[in-house]
A and B are shown apart, each in its own frame.
Chain A
Amino acid sequence: MSINVLLIDDSAVMRAIALKSLQMSGVPLGTVHQAANGVDGLAVLHQHWVDLILLDVSMPFMRGDEMLEQMRADPALAGTPVVVVTSERGTERVTRMQELGAVHLPKPFTPEQLRDVVRDVTGVRS
């Protein structure tokens, strides 16, 4: 089984690093979508099936925590696994996202760390 992933980060460099890490991790990938903020991320989710979201916190237009709040309030999106990828540690925003079921992956991360988190939240093995 391959998984469709949505990468949401306002940094194109971080999206590229996340994509490269996913490819190196051995996780069976389907389609990888990308968005630069929460607004664009929600638009992708309403158009495509996504199995996993890697979500930044601090972004223009709509932050990661704001997007996750909206997702959890939408029955169609509420169950989608979310990994919060940020260099923030223990902040209110990250804590709130964890309370909403997201898993925190601190930057920087290795492909192996990403693989382990993806396995944990999706149950998909390489």
Chain B
Amino acid sequence: MSGSLEENLYSAAVFTFERVAFLVPDIPPDPEQRQQPVEAVASVEFSGPACGTLQLHAGNGLLPLITANMVGMDDPDEALQLDALGELANIICGQFLPALDPVSAFEHKPPEIIAGGDFTDEAFSVEPPAVLSARAEIGFESSRADVLLFLHPDARSET
């Protein structure tokens, strides 16, 4: 896979949202979409030839939309919505990781979900030494999703 980390992150995220959640993205998000506060975050840690964390931040109103599309159910409950967010993060991570190393295998942990908080990017950061290395901002209907890639500096220098 060629291209910058950010291009590959966009590619993995767009492919996953289109294929799994049947949502067509707006890139970049419009001002109204950007205003939506983050409602929940799914975080996937990975290790292998590079180590880090991929986070999927879901804007207000996105969770019911993606879940309904993924499972074909109206009014999915909160547990199912958070489950859907975790699966999307997991799949985006699996799609993206070959961009870091197309040959070697990566292990990734089950997604961790944080919801019900008052999120800001600064408040939800990954512990050092991992640093924010790429970000994809995508609008969907009246909401948004941000995909953040945090890489361990040693691994980042290899990419």
Question: Which of B83, B84, B105, B109 interacts with A91 by CB under 8 Å?
Answer: B105
Interface of B is mostly: helix
Contacting residues, chain A, for B86 (C-beta < 8 A): 11
Q: Are B72 and A87 in contact (CB under 8 A)?
A: no
Chain B residue numbers with a CB within 8 Å of A60 are 110
In this complex, what residue of B is CB-closest to A106? B94
B114 within 8 A of partner (CB):
no
B98 close to chain A: CB less than 8 A: yes
Q: Hey, which chain A residues are within 8 Å of B90, CB to CB?
A: 87, 107
From 19 to 65 in chain B, residues with beta carbon under 8 angstroms from any chain A beta carbon are 19-20
The reply to whether B91 and A108 contact each other, CB–CB distance below 8 Å, is: yes
**What's the nearest-Cβ distance from chain B to residue A28, in Å?**
21
Q: Is A90 an interface residue (CB 8 A)?
A: yes
Chain A interface: which size bin?
20 to 34
B105, A92: Cβ atoms closer than 8 Å: yes
Residues from chain A with a CB closer than 8 A to the CB of B16 are: 108
Chain A residues in 8 Å Cβ range of B70? 13, 16-17
Query: What B residues does A13 contact at CB under 8 A?
Result: 67, 70-71, 80, 83-84, 87
Flag whether B106 is at the interface (Cβ < 8 A).
yes
Query: For residues 11 through 65 of chain A, which have their beta carbon under 8 Å from a beta carbon of chain B?
Result: 11-14, 16-17, 20, 58, 60
What are 25 pairs between A and B in contact, CB < 8 Å? A12-B83, A13-B67, A13-B70, A13-B71, A13-B83, A13-B87, A14-B87, A16-B70, A16-B72, A16-B73, A17-B20, A87-B90, A87-B91, A87-B95, A88-B105, A88-B106, A90-B105, A91-B105, A91-B107, A92-B105, A94-B105, A108-B16, A108-B19, A108-B91, A110-B19
